[in-house]
Amino acid sequence: MNATISASQLVTELADANPPVLLDVRWQLSTAKAAGAPPFDGRAEYAAGHLPGAVFVDLDRELASAPGGGGRHPLPDLAVFGAAMRRAGVSSGRPVVVYDGGQGWAAARAWWLLRWTGHPNVRVLDGGLPAWEAPLSTDVPAPTEGDFTPEPGAAGLLDADGAAALARSGVLLDARAGERYRGEVEPIDPVGGHIPGAVSAPTTDNVAPDGRFLPAEELRARFKTLGATEDDQVGVYCGSGVSGAHEVLALAVAGIPAALYVGSWSEWSSDPGRPVAVGPDPQ
């Protein structure tokens, strides 16, 4: 099962007898509010134009719980998540395609959650909205209620202790920008640095300038240089479990299964008892 779909292939599938459900998850990590500027409004962006038939999904309210001890984007309440998916028309027997404004992080978060909770056929539109060349719509669809019931899997999810252990026994990738990994800057969380043993692997290096993923063979080569292959136990974390999901998606494109530490650095750094490494060396 492919983890991504091209815009041209999506056009073809939307004309099929069983077209995919479309989810619009436009979202951006923004520090503008602290500077007095209005935060990014994904719902307003959706209202201004979206793929025909797509339903808006709110990452902060439906793909995550409220910020707290579990990080800035902890796992959502499964009842809330399931209701949001059914409202959008998601059923287990119908494919799902998720997209966002082009960065891919928010779409990957929805992809990861659906996969982790048992949906058998979900893909991300490679390149997001900018890759779509057909007309957009401002009509708000009213899809038939879906039947999807989230059933979390036993694998694919790490907690703080699991991430720490994997950094010693396997490969733990840090998907944040290199300067945050090294502890040179930290614009959001209370402490800069990384989980001891984690390897710096910025998720931005997994995509081309147009936002599309690099070819699978190039991704496999990149991850191999970082110590991650299909024969290794691999985990990923980021700031709050969003860009990390995008790295898990890139690993899936490369054919490498990986788990996600959803609490990520926002959870790890909130506990002063957890160790912090700084600088370019993993340890």
Condensed to tens digits (0 to 9), the pLDDT of residues 191-233 reads 999 999 999 999 999 999 999 999 999 999 999 999 999 999 9
Query: Which position has the token pair 């010693």?
Result: 168
Q: Identify the pLDDT of residue 22.
A: 98
Task: Report the amino acid identity of residue 198.
Answer: A
Burial string for 187-211 (b: 16+ CB within 10 Å, else e) reads ebbeebbbbbbbbbbbbeebbeeeb
Confidence of residue 155 (pLDDT cuts 50, 70, 90): confident
9-13, 31-35, 134-138, 166-170: lowest mean pLDDT where? 31-35
Clarify whether 238 is annotated catalytic. Answer: yes
Q: Identify the pLDDT of residue 122.
A: 98
The catalytic residue among 125, 238, 253, 262 is 238
Distance CA 118, CA 110 (A): 12
Condensed to tens digits (0 to 9), the pLDDT of residues 71-120 reads 999 999 999 999 999 999 999 999 999 999 999 999 999 999 999 999 99
CA-wise closest residue to 216 among 257, 173, 251? 251
Condensed to tens digits (0 to 9), the pLDDT of residues 2-58 reads 999 999 999 999 999 999 999 999 998 765 455 566 788 999 999 999 999 999 999
pTM across the whole model: 0.95
Q: What is the mean pLDDT of the chain?
A: 95
